[in-house]
Chains A and B, each alone.
Chain A
Amino acid sequence: MKPWSALRAVVIAIYVFMLGPIVITAAVSFNQSNRSQFPPRGFSLQWWHRAFSAEWLDPLVFSLKLALLAALISTLLALPLAFALARHRFPGRAALTALTLGPLMLPALVTGVGLLQLFQYAGAREYIGFTALLVGHVVICLPFAVRTIAISLHTLPPNIELAAASLGASRAAALWHVVLPLIKTGIVAGAVFAFVHSFTDVNLSLFLVRPGEQPITVKILGFLEYGFAPTLAAVSVITLLVPLALVASVERVSGLGDFIYAARERG
């Protein structure tokens, strides 16, 4: 068999492996009975009904709010930081870079534990919950935004700011009229990655929740202790569809392709 055909067959098998569990989860959520049968027997939307009940909708909305705020704040913080790291040379730049990428390099779990300890010792126990979660999420999302904005800055056409200056633009005007529009895609990509990272996080969130204030991922995890329930399957599919819809629509408008390598953790 020709090498390429063999490769294609292997690749198909790998795709089955990769997408299988997700497809199975989705299918199972339509099961008539309370079992994890595949292929599903019977068809029922009851579990999906339950997935939209308050019990599950509340944490979903919580996660959305959290992710939106975390993305916004981390992107705002990332802008000046990316500019400093990508365009200036100063003593301590390497250390600052390491600190910036730190939350990406170290396990989110550890950051979560550390933050829990911090809030407890600072006597700020009442902030555990949304506030602590927001803080933690901003910290772990910041590196993504800094990375994509830095990539954008590095791919600016070479003489563009000199050209603006020669045409009478002060440094501020050049930044506003020329640089910012050209790094727009990097900013958007950073915000999107930050959103997805926050929305899907569980390791950090685990330690900073309180009853009534937990992201949907933690809630799902908690429920898994009770074993299987098709409602969980439906909820899981919803939590995949939200980021998927976001990424698909942003890709259409702004394009994320240039930044895919920036999406990997610890890269």
Chain B
Amino acid sequence: MIEELVDKIARKETNVVFPHTLLRKGLYILPTRPGLLFILVLFVMLAGSINYSNNLGFLFTFLLGSMVFISILHTHRNLLGLTIRSAAVQPVFASDNGVLKLLLQTEERSRPGICFDVKINEATIHVTTNDNRKVSVPLPTERRGYYKVTSMTVSSSYPFGLFRTWSTFYPNLGYLVYPTALGGEFDPSASTDGSENQGSRETDGVDDFKGLRPYRPGDPMSRLSWKSLARGKGLHTKEFSAHIGESVMIAWDDVSLRETEKKLSRLCDMVLKAHDMNLSYGLSIPGTLIPKGEPKDKAHRHLCLKALALYGKGGVRAEGKRP
């Protein structure tokens, strides 16, 4: 609790960008609870030595005391100069495993027992590691939305656990959790907006056989034309076309579910399917309208999923710089 107080009083290192090196200022050290208890034990030993005028008692009490004192240097040194080179996090779907990947850098000497406390919204995730190169922090992903890393605390109580050194900083870091996709029917024709369907281009689809074209590396095996290969005509790929609605507007009212979260999950599923079907799709939900984008555009997909993730959470907030 004193440590939290120190963090409150200390000048905050906000908007820390990586690489971030732990320098002497901003790296604090205080005894842990067992450390305080041990100091108390030492005082009892000292009192005993004084009472019995026992010189060996003095000698060993001072030995233990000096060891505690010197361990402060060791503990402090265990973090001093440690560099966090980067912190990377990818958007995830709710309930999937999300990780914050931290890359560390240190000199030849190893730094055992480093703890990371990553505070995300109000939850704190604790990771202890002896790995001086990379650390994976598991992230909370139970609900959709935007998660901000409010603070990161690097700490260590190596070697004795009697003192803890720590540094708290506030990186500009956050991640999106998309809604979980809820499987179901997706009939693009049902929601195809007729007026926008005029002059549609043909896109690669799965439904109608269109013809053969020469094989290009990367084409899926399932679409190889084995017949033409057997006839000795070389390797060809079967082409299909999506015969219905090349573009689609995914709208709020397309889903008849009442529960908002379920509805969002369905919409999420539809966005994913539309993306997989190489449709040009857009999203229209209350408060947000995303016009149709290019098919296969991942950034566009992210925009749609983000809108779903943030629905009803105070609008699309600045996501922060993506690392």
Chain B binds chain A = no
Which residues does A use to contact B, with CB under 8 Å?
none
Which residues does B use to contact A, with CB under 8 Å?
none
